[in-house]
Amino acid sequence: MAIARRAALATMRSLITPEGVDLQIKLADAGTRAAAFLLDVVFIATAAITVTIVALFGVTGFGTDKLQPLFIVWIIAIFFLRNVYFIAFEAGRRASTPGKRIIGVRVASRNGAGLSVDQVIARNLMREIEVFLPLSIIAGRSGMGVADTLTTVFGLVWALLFALFPLFNRDRLRIGDLLAGTWVVEAPKRTLMEDLSARKDPVARTFQFSHAQLDAYGIAELHKLEEVLRRDDYFALRAVAETIGRKIGSTPQAHDARPFLTAYYGDLRAHLERKLLLGKRKEDKHQR
């Protein structure tokens, strides 16, 4: 029991939100990450096979002299397919691909801020060097000679070194995570919860906020506030309520922390949605 507890604590990390609240997160282990990646590979392969079949039906009238250029186009298309897949899903609000979502993990920025598109692009393009390039080298060998054997061994060693890298650093980072400033954390599935913007709490209805008070924060802080509310940790709720209260000049009592945050979340969400309809998108509190 003590060993299991120490193992669990070894993967716990502090993630400081923009409001200075420490949200304890658990790093995904190597097996979990591998399972999520394999699921994503299956999804990508299925899409690639579908695209290939459709393309073959479209080029049946071409001569054999046109097949090589078409094969090059196919390789480029598959390259873009797998990179668009990872980047598009991880740059989304959930910061996770379908494979990660099924397994229950997501990508997070190690500095506690929102995950940026630059970080997502960096970690995923690095995967080309870590995984797909050595596999392409192995797949590209043409025979069973000494040169081909050495090429296979080289590709396998290359892929193995990168694959084992997360096992030799305490934060379970692959090279892409190290360069991008990200890590993969557990995001256990939650049962469907009520809309946090609905003011069912009678105390929450007593709080009213001006446009100036709602303009203090943006989309990034809205997402962090939602996470804090869903975690429902008393000390985190109180700390965030005090921080927001000081910033907008409306500090609530300690026992009103959750109603206050629920009310502010609902009004901030509606406020940002109205501004978005007018083409005014405030990403975070630093944007004027």
Range of the domain at 14: 2-133+169-186
Position 192 pLDDT exceeds 50: no
Q: Are 13 and 28 in contact (CB under 8 A)?
A: no
- Using a pLDDT cut of 70, give the percent of the chain over it: 74
In whole angstroms, how far apart are CA 164 and each of 132, 136, 226? 15, 19, 36
Asked whether residue 82 falls in the same domain as residue 9, the answer is yes
Asked whether residue 262 falls in the same domain as residue 233, the answer is yes
Of 124, 157, 154, give the one whose Cα is nearest residue 140. Answer: 154
| Distance in angstroms (rounded) separating the CA atoms of residues 227 and 265 | 11
Quick check: is 288 in a domain? Answer: no
| Distance in angstroms (rounded) separating the CA atoms of residues 126 and 118 | 12
Asked whether residue 104 falls in the same domain as residue 214, the answer is no
Asked whether residue 121 falls in the same domain as residue 227, the answer is no
Asked whether residue 56 falls in the same domain as residue 25, the answer is yes
Worst-scoring range by mean pLDDT, 11-20, 191-200, 262-271?
A: 191-200
What's CA 233's distance to the chain center, in Å? 23
Q: What's the pTM value of the predicted model, to 2 decimals?
A: 0.62
DSSP string, 4-70: HHHHHHHTEEEEE-TTS-EEEEEBPPHHHHHHHHHHHHHHHHHHHHHHHHHHHHHSTTS-GGGHHHH
Asked whether residue 173 falls in the same domain as residue 228, the answer is no
- Looking at residue 22, what is its pLDDT? 59
- Looking at residue 4, what is its pLDDT? 43
Q: How many domains does the chain have?
A: 2
Asked whether residue 53 falls in the same domain as residue 174, the answer is yes
Q: Within a 10 A sphere around the Cβ of 61, how many other Cβ atoms?
A: 6
Quick check: is 106 in a domain? Answer: yes
Asked whether residue 181 falls in the same domain as residue 250, the answer is no
Asked whether residue 179 falls in the same domain as residue 264, the answer is no
Residue 183 pairs in a beta bridge with 108
Quick check: is 76 in a domain? Answer: yes
Asked whether residue 181 falls in the same domain as residue 260, the answer is no
Q: Give the residue-averaged pLDDT of 168-181.
A: 87
Element (H, E) at 184: strand 182-186
Q: Is 236 exposed, middle or buried (0-12, 13-18, 19+ CB in 10 A)?
A: buried
Quick check: is 128 in a domain? Answer: yes
Residue 61: pLDDT band by 50, 70, 90 thresholds? low
Q: How many residues does the chain have?
A: 288
Q: Which residue has the higher pLDDT, 239 or 99?
A: 99
Angle at 220 between CA 99 and CA 256, to 5 degrees: 110
Of 52, 126, 113, 131, give the one whose Cα is nearest residue 87. Answer: 126
- Looking at residue 238, what is its pLDDT? 85
What phi and psi, each to the nearest 5 degrees, are found at residue 185?
A: -120, 160
